[in-house]
Structure 1
């Protein structure tokens, strides 16, 4: 290709090319345009490209290029359009080319400094350095670029104090985003210049602001306003109701100290609004009603009370509704089927909703994630859930649902998470003879704290055998990305409104809140039910599982040797059963095992030694009178190990309780709040645990439970 000496235009984009950029391209000295974007190219940018003295457009974005950007390349004498965004480029850059009009270096690993030569870049209209690792203060040279229209510096490590009046020197500036740095922005409320300048985008997230900047009241053309992650307190100013009412598309006030709105009922006035993010404030009162144009509405982690207004049924385009962690109550409006065909995510977690789930909600639904956990829902599950073929997550934990196990969901090929924990589900779980689908892509199945009985339903996992989950989706989380994109300018888009699934689950002996759940995390929790019989050898087919909890059932027989095949296991809990036999040597193959408990069974013989088994405490084995070993008071025959005395924690252990004392306090503290949990902890120290359970009417966690 380097022999095409008369070539003026070369575009090779959206092709599956790999390898490095040939240095012979530097021979194409008549090139005006070079575009090599959206491919798998790797390696450094060849220095020979600095020979392309007639080049005006250079676009090598969304590849995997590394190393530094050659000085001669970015300062070619005719270059006006430079887009090297979405690569892995690093180091510093010095720009001295006054012909540049567009500079896109965003989404790389540049550390800076980014310096500008003595020439004034008077033609520069777009400067995008966002999402890099640039340190230090923002260069004062930027404020000399008189024709600059778009300036994006967000998500870097810029620091120091910055006066907003400096940006007002740029008379043509309409889009400014300095969010996600370590800056303190000073805004003079008396500045007359701020009222004259008209912005379309303002990004001031994490700028140490204590109030909504007053100059925004004069902005009537805003499309995107981001004031998240500041210290803005009090009510949302009343004057905002008259700001950019027909143009505003994105409003982000999340992670502040806001307490409410200035009017009730709250009908939000922005007629073009598509994304509204009010998460993690102290908002009180009833739910605000967003306009019908809204696609994504986030108001989780606030203090909102009352019922869900039926006016929400008018939001026929709604795709994400996140009301989690408020004080909302009452039943769900039956008219929600108005947006059943558009809704992707419905998160009502940790409220006080009650009643049943209306069947009509789900008719024709495109739902990906349903999270109704930690409410007071009752009744049976809507059978129309089986028609939601796009579902990835169904989380109904910590409610009062009363139903049998939903085998009829087994054909959902996209389902990764099914959580029914802490409800009133009941009955046997033996797989029906007519059952053909077995949850082919399930990652997390949590049915703990219910009243399931019979033998373990391991036929559910016959398809698990061939999976190599650890190789999939590395370092990604279960989430739902929006298809809404805010256009910044013609070569870069920014996606908004990504929703990430979170959950509460028992892991490693504690109740753990997962703010994000990795795609590779796999867990099976059948604990605290009434399962009987032996653990079959086929359990060794569950390769890839990281958490396996069968505790607090009535299982009998031996520990199967096939468990040695589960080499990804990190947590294994068989405590509070009736298992017998020895702890088999094959378990030493579980080199990732961090938590292991077989306490309160009928096991015999020596405990294992070596590798991770030397790290497990006495509590992992206690309650098995015929076990012996160096960590226990009972020595094995022919052992030279010294006789050890029980620890204080052992002596205080209630042998009839399902878990050790520390776990009880964590669980109770979680349910009643931290401060109350501490107080209860002191009561338990002073009084008997049984007295506490009876007084607070808490259902015991261990042993067989009987329904009235």
Structure 2
């Protein structure tokens, strides 16, 4: 309290506990106070901060405090704040004093319990009907995330750089007025009840927008063909809506794209190979749509040089597995990556308060849903090192090529080819994918034995080859001692732990083709084989019957 000339006090991102010292409220020249991201546990009256007449920047978000804003604060004439961070401060309604705060540049009311309709004063009704601009014409960042807000989507000022309203209950269409926000860098409208078609004017964001997150709404219709050269978009999510038709080929102009998610919609199109030239695309998710047809991988100009997560599951793709995309991938991109880094975009931001120039970047992490280890998993963040292929529940045919273990699949954690029409043997080269944690080959028409080389996969936590035509003993040791019996069920020719069917000493695998001189010995071998592996004969015969039927 003796620091009477102190104007800036930044105590953010520490482990401070208990109550805020009263001495802070005597720093009469304080202009900037940041207590955010700490572990305070007390309640505090907003009036205490109002006593600091020169205070214009106050950050209390995620500091553990419960902020009490009384009617006296609403009614009195307060100083003009420029930056207010009230995220997770246990607010239950909009602070009414904000109606006169026309100098605001930053307002964070996220992760509170503010519910109901947006109050009337929130709208600048002198400018016209709802929806219309909010009254803060200098606002750069508005965060209303994770509340219980209802009604029409409020539109912030055209100067806004970041607009976060995810996880609320806003309804109706996106107003065309939003396209006047030509400086917008982040638009997050996810997890609401917004509906209708998208505005055709989305191209207005082309020069500034980095992040577009529209997931988990009920948008419908086609996505506008409005993307232009020079777009800075890095993360786009259209997932979990009701979009239809073809994908917009103009997205191929967004050369900065890192992640693109079309999952859980009603797109009816072929594979977007035209995205293959995007130099930074790491994630492409097409899960649960109506995509169809073979995937062409012979065109050299579509090589997906950085692709590491590809989810094609629950569609109607046909033909052979599109693994050639990964023979061109640049695996060296992982050499400097860390398990602690995530796929994210940093939105640069700067504020000037008096003589203080405050510059930093707000990190926006990519989120996705993917089936891993047999469980639908919601990833709030995605590690830079995470590599996954999910081609399950399609109509892929043919063999799993032996070359799969020699592709640039460094760091592959998840491989799912289940529920297709794949034939042939399980490649021994899968044993080269030493980082694999989940391998699902179930519900296909694979035959032969399970390769012993798979016991080399010491990180393998989930393994499923059920409902195929596999035969012979199940490999033993290491991770294979941990897999349950349902990982192998539906293969009558398999034996050994964890199945109850024991392997016989005389049990042999399918003999190799013989010469005429070996035919007599072959007859003896076949008789033994028939005696001990009758189930395998039935499976093998059924498999070849299916093969000739398809031919």
Deviation at 1:535, TM superposition (A): 1.1
Aligned position for 1:600? 467
1:618-643 per-position Cα deviation (integer Å, ceiling 9, x unaligned): 1111011011112112111259xxxx
Mapping 1:541-690, distance limit 5 Å: 541=407, 542-637=409-504
Aligned alpha-carbon RMSD (Å): 2.9
Aligned position for 2:286? 420
Q: What residue ranges of structure 1 are gaps of 5+ in the alignment?
A: 1-115, 246-261, 640-702, 704-708
CA distance in 2 between partners of 1:590 and 1:414 (Å): 30
Q: Is the 8 A contact 2:313 2:391 kept in 1?
A: yes
Q: Which one of the candidate residues 86, 90, 94 is aligned to 1:208?
A: 90
Q: How many residues align?
A: 505
Q: Is the 8 A contact 2:74 2:96 kept in 1?
A: no
Q: Is the 8 A contact 1:543 1:565 kept in 2?
A: no
Q: Is the 8 A contact 2:113 2:147 kept in 1?
A: no
Q: Is the 8 A contact 1:334 1:361 kept in 2?
A: no
TM-score calculated relative to the size of structure 1: 0.66
1:265-301 per-position Cα deviation (integer Å, ceiling 9, x unaligned): 3432222222222222333333223332222222222
Q: Which one of the candidate residues 320, 339, 343 is aligned to 1:474?
A: 339
1:521 aligns with 2:386: yes
1:409 aligns with 2:275: yes
Q: Which one of the candidate residues 485, 499, 505 is aligned to 2:364?
A: 499
Deviation at 1:531, TM superposition (A): 1.4
**Cα gap change, 1:371 to 1:213, in 2 (>3 Å):** closer
Q: Is the 8 A contact 1:430 1:454 kept in 2?
A: no
Q: Is the 8 A contact 1:282 1:303 kept in 2?
A: yes
- Secondary structure at 1:564's aligned position in 2? helix
1:314-351 per-position Cα deviation (integer Å, ceiling 9, x unaligned): 33333322222223333223233233333322222222
Aligned position for 2:161? 295
Aligned position for 1:440? 305
**Cα gap change, 1:226 to 1:376, in 2 (>3 Å):** closer
CA distance in 1 between partners of 2:220 and 2:13 (Å): 43
CA distance in 2 between partners of 1:192 and 1:441 (Å): 53
Q: Which has the higher contact order (CA 8 A, sep 6+)?
A: 2
TM-score calculated relative to the size of structure 2: 0.84
Aligned position for 1:680? none
Mapping 1:85-100, distance limit 5 Å: none
Which is further off, 274-283 or 505-514?
274-283
Deviation at 1:220, TM superposition (A): 4.7
1:38-82 per-position Cα deviation (integer Å, ceiling 9, x unaligned): xxxxxxxxxxxxxxxxxxxxxxxxxxxxxxxxxxxxxxxxxxxxx
- Secondary structure at 1:546's aligned position in 2? strand
CA distance in 1 between partners of 2:259 and 2:395 (Å): 26
Mapping 1:273-352, distance limit 5 Å: 273-352=139-218
CA distance in 2 between partners of 1:330 and 1:198 (Å): 38
Aligned position for 1:538? 403
Deviation at 1:193, TM superposition (A): 10
Mapping 1:223-242, distance limit 5 Å: 223-241=105-123
CA distance in 1 between partners of 2:136 and 2:401 (Å): 60
CA distance in 2 between partners of 1:266 and 1:419 (Å): 35
CA distance in 1 between partners of 2:230 and 2:478 (Å): 53
Which is further off, 125-134 or 346-355?
346-355
Aligned position for 1:456? 321
**Cα gap change, 1:329 to 1:230, in 2 (>3 Å):** closer
- Secondary structure at 2:25's aligned position in 1? helix
CA distance in 2 between partners of 1:589 and 1:484 (Å): 48
Q: Is the 8 A contact 2:442 2:465 kept in 1?
A: yes
Deviation at 1:379, TM superposition (A): 2.3
- Secondary structure at 2:328's aligned position in 1? helix
**Cα gap change, 1:482 to 1:600, in 2 (>3 Å):** same
Deviation at 1:491, TM superposition (A): 6.7
Deviation at 1:196, TM superposition (A): 4.6
CA distance in 2 between partners of 1:597 and 1:321 (Å): 40
**Cα gap change, 1:548 to 1:192, in 2 (>3 Å):** closer
1:270 aligns with 2:136: yes
CA distance in 1 between partners of 2:440 and 2:324 (Å): 21
Q: Is the 8 A contact 2:262 2:287 kept in 1?
A: yes
- Secondary structure at 2:209's aligned position in 1? coil
**Structure 1 stretches of 4+ moved >4 Å:** 191-194, 214-220, 240-243, 488-492
CA distance in 1 between partners of 2:352 and 2:337 (Å): 31
Aligned position for 2:39? 157
CA distance in 2 between partners of 1:362 and 1:480 (Å): 20
**Cα gap change, 1:633 to 1:263, in 2 (>3 Å):** farther
Q: Which one of the candidate residues 241, 244, 251 is aligned to 1:385?
A: 251
**Cα gap change, 1:152 to 1:338, in 2 (>3 Å):** closer
Aligned position for 1:400? 266
- Secondary structure at 1:635's aligned position in 2? coil
Deviation at 1:418, TM superposition (A): 0.8
Q: Is the 8 A contact 2:33 2:57 kept in 1?
A: yes
CA distance in 2 between partners of 1:513 and 1:403 (Å): 26
Q: Is the 8 A contact 1:453 1:532 kept in 2?
A: yes
CA distance in 2 between partners of 1:279 and 1:150 (Å): 24
